[in-house]
Structure 1
Amino acid sequence: MKRFNFTITAAALAVCTLCMGAAQAQDKPVALKLSSWVPAQHALNPALQAWADDIKKQSNGTITSTLFPSEQLGKAFDHYDMARDGIADFSYVNPGYQPGRFPIFAASSLPFMISNAKAGSAAIDAWYRQYAAREMKDVKFCFAFAHDPGALHSKKKIVSPAEIKGMKIRPATSTIGQMVTLLGGTNVQSSAPEARDMLERGVAEAITFPWGSLTLFGIDKVTKFHMDVPLYVTPFVWAMNADKYNAMSTAQKKVIDDHCTSEWAEKVGSAWADFEIGGRTKLANEAGHEVYKLTPEQLKAWRDAVAPVEGQWAEGVKKAGGDPKQVLDSLKASLVKYKSAL
C-alpha cells in the first residue's frame, strides 16, 4: 500500500493558522436601525450617535447604525414593542407611557427621589439590572437613564398642592399621573411630541416636563409659570431586539455588551442633563415667564401631599409578584452610592 508523507513545514502551518484566524475574525456586517422619538435637534440624539459610533469603531466596522429621530419608525408610545418586534433594532423607550406594564421600573419615577441625571442615570441603571430580565424579558435590556429633574409648568401660578384639584394636567409618566389623581387633578395622556398641541387647545392646563426640552418642544409658548422644584425624573430604557442580538457573532455580542453598561448610561444621561440644566437658566431670563421657588413650608406641603403615591406604586409591584420594600430599598441604596439621592 502506497504511503503519503503529509509533513507540513512551519511556514505553511503559520500561514494556515493566519488564514483560520482571519476567517474567524471576519464577522458578517450588521446594520442597526436606532429609533429615537425626540426631534432631530434634541440633545439626546448626539449622545446616542456617539454611542453608535463607538460600537462601529470597537467592532472594526462590522456593526453600523442609522439613527431615526422624530418618530420616523413609530410613535413614542410604541417604542418598547418596536424593539420587541424588530421594527427597530434599538429603541428609546419611556416605560412610563404604559401604566402598569413595568411596575418595578416605575419606582425610579416616584416624586422627590433623584437630585440629578448624571450620576442618577448610572444609579438607576445599576439598580434596575437585577430586575430587567424579568420585567422586560421580551427585549435585550441595554441600559436605563433619566433626564435631569423636571418641574411643573402651567398657565397659572401654582404654589400649593391643593391648587391641583380640578386641573387638567399632562403627566410625564404613569407614576406622576398617580400623583395628579391623588391631588384631585385629571390626567391628560399624551406623548412629548403631542404635548404642546394639548396645551394649546386647552385640553391640558399644566404639564410636568424637563427644562430644556420645554423650549425644544415649543411648550414654553403655551406655559408661563414654572415651579423651580426637582419634582421628578423620567427614566428611560435603551432596548434592543433580542433576535438581532442573538444573530450576532460572539465578538459582536461582546461589543454590544460592552456598550450596555452603567458607564454608558451615565454618558448618555450626562449629555442630556447639561441641555436641560441650561434650559432652566434660559427660561428664567425670558420675558413673560416666571420661574419661582417654593418656601420650605410649601415644599414640605408638596412632599407630604404626594407621599401616598409610594403606597399606590407598592400595590402595583405586589400585584406583579414583587417585593416593593426590597425594590425601593435597593433603589435608594443605589442613589446614595452614586450620590444622586434627593
Structure 2
Amino acid sequence: MTSKRHSYVCAAALGLGVALGLAAVAQPAIAQDKPVNLRLGHWLPPSHPLHPAFTEWGASLEKATNGTVKTQIFPAQQLGQAKDHYDMARDGIADITYVNPGYTPGRFPVIAGSEIPFLFSNGKSGSAAIDAWYRKYAEKEMSDVKVCMTFVHDPGTFHSKIRIAKPDDLKGHKIRPGNASVARLVTLAGGTNVQVTAPEARDALERGLADAISFPWGSVFIFGFEKAVKYHMDAPLYISNFVLAVNKAAYGKLSANQKKAFDAHCTSEMSEKVNTAWSDAESSGKAKMLALPGHEGVKPSDSDIAAWRKLSDEMTKAWYEDAKKVGVNGEQALNELKAELKKRNAAF
C-alpha cells in the first residue's frame, strides 16, 4: 500500500471513528447477553475507504453491546464472489454482507429507480436520503434478509479509452456499466454492455474486452483503472446503490438488548456516517485524476447534457413499467425519492 493510500484509509477510519464515537451509546449489559461473533463479508479491497468504515462500525457496535457483539471483516471476496453477496446473507454464508443490487440486473427493480441518471448531487447526504426512502420498500423487495442500511457512492461517470461527451459517442463501443440502469443507458445510446464486476473490470479494459467503465472518480485509483483509461467525462452522470444485508437467523439470535444496539447502528444517519469518508475520497479523486499526465477531462456541452437527459427520460418511463410489474407505483416512488433528496440537500 502506498503512503498516499495508507493516509487515505487512515483518514477514512479516523473520520468515521469520531462520528461513530459520538453516536454509539453503550447499552447496560444484562445476564442473558451471550457473546456473538458476526462475519461481515464484502468484495472491496482493504484499501477501499469502506473497509475501515465497516471496521469502525463493528467497533462501535461492540462498544454499544459492552463487548458482547463482535464483528469480523472478510474483504476482497474472501467468502464469495461480489455478485453472490445477497444470497450469502440470505443463506448464512456470512452474517452481514455488502450488496450491489446492480450486479444482478432485474432482481431488485424498485431500488433500481434510484440509479436513474441526474438524480443525486452527492453521495454523503444522498446516502441518508436513499436509506430513508428505501425502508418503505426493502421488506417487499429484499424479504430474504434484514436490510440494515442503504447508501450510494458519490456520482460517477465514464472513464474510457475513447472520448465520451454525448450518447452518440457510445455507439459501437463496449462499456462496463456500474449497474443495470447504466447498462440500459448504454443500450439506448447504441453501445454494447460488458457485464463484469468491479474487481474484474481492469482486466476487461486491458484485454480490450471493454472500451470504457462507469465508475466514481476516487475508486478508479483503488481498482487501478487509471492505468487502463485516458479520458473522463466531466459530469455527475449516475450513482450506484448498495445495501448492508443481514442474515435473519443471525439477527434473530441476538438478545433484545443486543438487537436494540444493532438497530441503532442501522439508521439513515448511520448510513451517512459510514459513507462520509468514502464520499469525500470519491469527490477528491476528480482533481487528482485530471492532474495526471496523459489524462483528459471531457466536458459535455449543454446540448450533450440535453441528449443524456432525453435518454434518462426514456429510462424513467421504462422503470415505471418495471415497478408496476411488482406492484409499485413508479411515479409516486420516484417523487418520494426526489422529495427526500431535496429535503437532505442531495438533489442534482
TM-score (normalizing by structure 1) = 0.92
Are residues 1:272 and 2:278 paired?
yes
What residue ranges of structure 2 are gaps of 5+ in the alignment?
1-27
Q: Distance in 2 between matches of 1:66 and 1:246?
A: 18
Cα shift at 1:281 = 1.2
Q: Distance in 2 between matches of 1:314 and 1:200?
A: 37
Q: Distance in 2 between matches of 1:271 and 1:153?
A: 22
Q: Distance in 2 between matches of 1:284 and 1:24?
A: 55
Are residues 1:340 and 2:346 paired?
yes
Q: Distance in 1 between matches of 2:93 and 2:324?
A: 32
Are residues 1:123 and 2:129 paired?
yes
* Identical residues among aligned pairs (%): 53
Cα shift at 1:312 = 1.5
2:200 pairs, out of 188, 194, 200, with 194
Aligned to 2:169: 163
More moved, 300-309 vs 77-86:
300-309
Aligned to 2:155: 149
Query: What letter is aligned with 1:306?
Result: S
Aligned to 1:247: 253
The secondary structure found in structure 2 opposite 1:226 is strand
Are residues 1:101 and 2:107 paired?
yes
Are residues 1:32 and 2:38 paired?
yes
- Pair 1:181–1:27, CA change in 2 (3 A): same
Query: In the TM superposition, what are the counterparts of 1:161-310 in structure 2 within 5 Å?
Result: 161-310=167-316
Cα shift at 1:26 = 4.2
Query: What letter is aligned with 2:45?
Result: P
What residue ranges of structure 1 are gaps of 5+ in the alignment?
1-21
Contact residue 175 and residue 313 of structure 1 kept, 8 A: no
Q: Distance in 2 between matches of 1:84 and 1:270?
A: 27
Runs of 4+ deviating beyond 3 Å:
22-26
TM-score (normalizing by structure 2) = 0.90
State which structure, 1 or 2, has the greater radius of gyration over its C-alpha atoms. 1
Cα shift at 1:23 = 9.1
Aligned to 1:88: 94
Cα shift at 1:297 = 2.4
Aligned to 1:15: none
The secondary structure found in structure 1 opposite 2:236 is coil
Contact residue 164 and residue 298 of structure 2 kept, 8 A: no
Q: Distance in 2 between matches of 1:55 and 1:162?
A: 49
Q: Distance in 2 between matches of 1:159 and 1:26?
A: 60
Q: Distance in 1 between matches of 2:298 and 2:29?
A: 64
Q: 1:12-67 CA deviation, whole Å, 9 max, x = no partner?
A: xxxxxxxxxx9943410000101110101111111111111100000000000111
Contact residue 212 and residue 275 of structure 1 kept, 8 A: yes
Aligned to 2:120: 114
Alignment root-mean-square deviation, CA: 1.2
Number of matched residues? 321
Q: Distance in 2 between matches of 1:48 and 1:23?
A: 24
